[in-house]
C-alpha cells in the first residue's frame, strides 16, 4: 500500500476545498520529493478559493506556491541536492525554448508550469518537483538563519522585486502604494532599498495602515477620507507621484492611482483582479501626460534568487501573523477574507 499524506485539494468551484489523505507523489530519476515545512496562503489563492478558478488550473489542484521545504528524496540522476537540505521553491518555470524563455522572461512562457495552479503545490505534507523544474533552477537553498516561516515570504518578495525592477525607480523618486497588506508593505520595503526617496501607503483599512507605520511607512493615508488626494499631493509634490503601485485587487485603486500620477510617471498594476474585471479610461490621459501603465506577473528565477539573497535583511518574521495546520486551511482563508493580520501560513508541523 502506498504511503499517504494530508493535503488541501481545491475542486474549482467557489469555496470547494476538501482536506483529503492522498498518495505521496512517486518520483522518477530526475525528480525531487520535498517535505513541506510551511506554506503561505497567497492573495491569489484566496481569490481563487472565494471566486473559483480560471480554465488554466488543474482540477482538483493543491494550492500553494510560497513554501519552505526540505529535500526528502532525490532521484538517482539529480545532482546538487541531498536529503535534509532546506530549500524554497521558485513557483514557475518555463520551457526554456520559447521566445520569452530565451530572452530571460520565463514568467511569460507560453508553456509555463505554475506550482499551485497547473501543477500541485504546497498545501500538503509532500510536494514533487519534476525533473524540468529541477533543471530550470526552481529549487533554491536557504541559509539556516531564515526560519521555515520566514522562507514563505521569499516568493512574494521575488514578485515584488520583479515588478519594481520593471519601473526603473530613480534615486529620490516619490512612490505611492495602494494597499497595505503584506504585498503593499513588501513594495514599500523594496522601493526604499532600490533608491526611492519617499514612499506613501494608501488603504481603506485603518488597522492595516496602523500596522504599516510599524513597518516604517513615512506616511499612511486613508482612501476613505475626503481629502486623500490632497494628502498625497502634499506628500509627493503638487505635480503628483513619480511611481504608483496598485498592490490590491481593485479597479478603483487603478483609477485613483492615475489621478495622482505625475506627468511622465509610471503606474504598475501589481494586484491581480477578479476574472472579468473591466476598466474604462480616457486614452488621452496616457497620450498627453506621457504616463506609462504596465503590469507585472510572477517573477523570473533570477528575481527569485535575488530575493532569497536579500531575505536575511528583510525582517520577514514580522509579516507572519497567523499559522494553521493543513486541516484548518479553510480557517486560514477566512482570515484572509477578513483582512485580519498580515501573512497567513500553513504549518505542516501543527496537528
Measured at the CA of 295, the angle between CA 294 and CA 298, to 5 degrees, comes to 150
Nearest to 157 by CA among 324, 312, 282: 312
The CATH number of whichever domain residue 333 belongs to comes to 3.90.180.10
Residue 57 belongs to a domain: yes
**Rg of the chain in Å (alpha carbons):** 20
130, 174: one domain? no
Is residue 189 located within the same domain as residue 226? yes
- 146 and 177 belong to one structural domain: no
- Report the C-alpha gap between 198 and 165 in whole angstroms: 17
SS3 116: coil
* Residue 300 counted as domain residue: no
* Residue 351 pLDDT > 70: no
Q: 247 and 284: one domain?
A: yes
Task: In whole angstroms, give the CA distance from residue 111 to residue 50.
Answer: 26
CA distance 204 to 147: 32
Q: How many CA atoms does the CB half-sphere of 138 hold within 13 Å?
A: 33
In a domain, 99, yes or no: yes
Whether 321 is in a domain gets the answer yes
Same domain, residue pair 270 and 323? no
Both 185 and 142 in one domain: the answer is: no
The separation between CA 193 and the C-alpha centre of its own chain, rounded to angstroms, equals: 18
Asked if residue 107 belongs to a domain, the reply is yes
Asked whether residue 306 is domain-assigned, the answer is no
Residue 70 inside a domain? The answer is: yes
143 and 67 both lie in a single domain: yes
**Residues 245, 138 share a domain:** no
Mark whether 166 and 134 lie in a shared domain.
no
Give mean pLDDT, residues 210-227: 93
Q: What is the per-residue pLDDT across 239-282, written as a single tens digit (0 to 9) for each?
A: 999 999 999 989 999 999 999 999 999 999 999 887 788 999 99
CATH of the domain at 166: 3.40.50.720
Helix, strand, or coil here: 173? coil
pLDDT at 350 over 70: yes
Range of the domain at 186: 161-295
**Sequence-ordered list of residues with C-beta below 8 angstroms from that of 135, at least 6 positions apart, any chain:** 30
Residue 135 sits in the same domain as residue 8? yes
Report the C-alpha gap between 255 and 189 in whole angstroms.
24
Write the pLDDT tens digit of every residue in 53-84.
878 899 999 999 999 999 999 999 999 999 99
C-alpha cell at 216: 516604517
- For the four alpha carbons of 98, 102, 107 and 113, in that order, the dihedral sign comes to positive
What average pLDDT score do residues 292-311 get? Answer: 96
Q: Do 245 and 282 fall within a single domain?
A: yes
pLDDT digits (tens, 9 = 90+) for 111-127: 999 999 999 999 999 99
Task: Decide: 95 and 159 in contact? Cβ < 8 Å.
Answer: no
Same domain for 325 and 258, yes or no, is no
Question: Is 180 inside a domain boundary?
Answer: yes
Quick: pLDDT tens for 95-112.
999 999 999 999 999 899
Determine what percent of the chain is predicted with pLDDT higher than 70.
99
pLDDT of the residue at 340: 85
Q: How many domains does the chain have?
A: 2
Amino acid at each position: 500500500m502506498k504511503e499517504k499524506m494530508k493535503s488541501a485539494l481545491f475542486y474549482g468551484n467557489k469555496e470547494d476545498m476538501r482536506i483529503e489523505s492522498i498518495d505521496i507523489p512517486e518520483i522518477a530519476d530526475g525528480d525531487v520529493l520535498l517535505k513541506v515545512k510551511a506554506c503561505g496562503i497567497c492573495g491569489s489563492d484566496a481569490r481563487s478559493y472565494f471566486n473559483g478558478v480560471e480554465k488554466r488550473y488543474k482540477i482538483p489542484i493543491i494550492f500553494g506556491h510560497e513554501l519552505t521545504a526540505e529535500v526528502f528524496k532525490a532521484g538517482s540522476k539529480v545532482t546538487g541536492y541531498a536529503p535534509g537540505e532546506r530549500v524554497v521553491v521558485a513557483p514557475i518555470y518555463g520551457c526554456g525554448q520559447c521566445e520569452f524563455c530565451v530572452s530571460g522572461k520565463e514568467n511569460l512562457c507560453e508553456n509555463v508550469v505554475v506550482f499551485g495552479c497547473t501543477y500541485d503545490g504546497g498545501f500538503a505534507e509532500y510536494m514533487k518537483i519534476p525533473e524540468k523544474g529541477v533543471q530550470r533552477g526552481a529549487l533554491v537553498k536557504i541559509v539556516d538563519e531564515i526560519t521555515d516561516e520566514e522562507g514563505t515570504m521569499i516568493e512574494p518578495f521575488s514578485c515584488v522585486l520583479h515588478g519594481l525592477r520593471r519601473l526603473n525607480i530613480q534615486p529620490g523618486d516619490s512612490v505611492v502604494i495602494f494597499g497595505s497588506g503584506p504585498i503593499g508593505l513588501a513594495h514599500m520595503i523594496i522601493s526604499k532599498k532600490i533608491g526611492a526617496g519617499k514612499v506613501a501607503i494608501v488603504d481603506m483599512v485603518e488597522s492595516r495602515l496602523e500596522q504599516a507605520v510599524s513597518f516604517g511607512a513615512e506616511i499612511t493615508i486613508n482612501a476613505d477620507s475626503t481629502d486623500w488626494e490632497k494628502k498625497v499631493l502634499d506628500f509627493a509634490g503638487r505635480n503628483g507621484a513619480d511611481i504608483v503601485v496598485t498592490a490590491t485587487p481593485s479597479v478603483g485603486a487603478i483609477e485613483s492611482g492615475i489621478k495622482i500620477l505625475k506627468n511622465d510617471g509610471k503606474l504598475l498594476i501589481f494586484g491581480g483582479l477578479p476574472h472579468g474585471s473591466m476598466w474604462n479610461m480616457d486614452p488621452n490621459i496616457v497620450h498627453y501626460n506621457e504616463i506609462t501603465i504596465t503590469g507585472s506577473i510572477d517573477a523570473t528565477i533570477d528575481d527569485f534568487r535575488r530575493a532569497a539573497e536579500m531575505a536575511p535583511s528583510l525582517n520577514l518574521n514580522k509579516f507572519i501573523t497567523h499559522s494553521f495546520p493543513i486541516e484548518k486551511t479553510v480557517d486560514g482563508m477566512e482570515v484572509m477574507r477578513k483582512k485580519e493580520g498580515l501573512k497567513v501560513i500553513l504549518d505542516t508541523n501543527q496537528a
